[in-house]
Amino acid sequence: MEMESHKELLKEVFGESSSDSEDYDPPNKHIGDPIPSWERIEQINGLWLCKDFLSPQQQSSLISSVLNEGWFAEDSHNQAMRFGDLPSWAVELSNCIREAVLVGDHVSDSTDLATSNGGMGSCLFPSDLLWREPLFDQLIVNVYHPGEGICAHVDLMRFEDGIAIVSLESSCVMHFTRVEEGSDIVEQGEKHSHTGKIPVLLTSGSLVLMSGEARYLWKHEINRKPGVQMWEGEELMQERRISITLRKLRQVE
Ligand SMILES: O=C(O)CCC(=O)C(=O)O
Ligand SMILES: [Fe+2]
């Protein structure tokens, strides 16, 4: 049933697949099987990645919607921010995110039983965040040209917990570093690189969810300077990258 509703929702959001697309089978996807698979970044509680969130068709349609807004008509414009009522494609994207969490939940529950001790990190997206209305009311679209990235930061406290990032076009590596690196919190056991940076590969169509520790205790950055964007021993090709970040403004008391 849930699978059906997800399918219906995707159809509603991105339209019925056109007849000429019937012979097109996106890689790693089975037709009629849109259940998203969630990957937990094990070193970072509250950080989840859904690599197959958007099909290639959905990605193209989303890129068109974004570019049709006309926000990036001039080359010097590389960021657009919207508050409150979001464009319909962003509302639809939010709905898809909620649905992907609901449908994917079961997958993560079963893996968690085997791989985690049931701590905070095992929760894909806390239900109080998932059911708030609206789920998101702030949107940032970033367009990155080759060489451009974003410095290490924790998102501003004016935003609530629960942040989503959808990636489009060029893949990139986002690095996560603990806030107060070098303080007394030392992980037992497994050692990571001496920099303590955790790399996460963001491919086109992927969705990242950050909540809890991932949102508050880790900085994230994208450094696209030559030689930095390495994945599995290879440097990633850098062309244009578009990201869509969705957040909720904190209520001011
Ligand atoms: O472009 C991205 O993937 C991340 C953007 C981001 O971290 C931000 O706008 O706060
Ligand atoms: Fe950010």
Residue spans of the domains in the chain: they are 2-15+33-180+195-247
Task: Residue 180: name the closest of 134, 129, 218 by CA.
Answer: 218
Give pLDDT, residue 103.
87
Question: What was the pLDDT predicted at 49?
Answer: 96
Expressed in percent and rounded to 5, the helix, strand and coil fractions of the chain are: 25, 25, 45
Interface confidence, given as ipTM, is 0.99
Look at residues 179, 186, 187 and name the one whose alpha carbon lies nearest to residue 216: 179
Please state the atom number of ligand 1 nearest to the C-alpha of residue 202.
Answer: 3
Between CA 250 and CA 244 the distance in angstroms is: 19
pTM for the structure as a whole? 0.81
Does 114 have pLDDT greater than 90? no
**Residue 161, pLDDT above cutoff 50:** yes
Nearest-CA residue for atom 5 of ligand 1: 245
Q: What is the DSSP letter of 75?
A: T
Q: Is the pLDDT of residue 116 over 50?
A: no
Looking at all shown ligands, the one closest to residue 242's CA atom is 1
Over residues 50-54, the mean pLDDT reads 95
pLDDT digit string, tens, across residues 140-152: 999 999 999 999 9
Q: Is the pLDDT of residue 28 over 90?
A: no
Q: What is the best residue among 151, 210, 243, 246 to mutate for testing ligand 1's pocket, by most ligand atoms within 8 Å of CB? A: 243
Ligand 1, CB within 6 Å, residue ranges: 140, 142, 150, 155, 165, 220, 243, 245
In this structure, which ligand is nearest to the CA of 208?
1
CATH code assigned to 2-15+33-180+195-247? 2.60.120.590
**What is the band of 183 on the pLDDT scale with cuts at 50, 70, 90?**
low
Q: Calculate the CA dihedral of residues 230, 228, 222, 231 and round it to 10 degrees.
A: 0
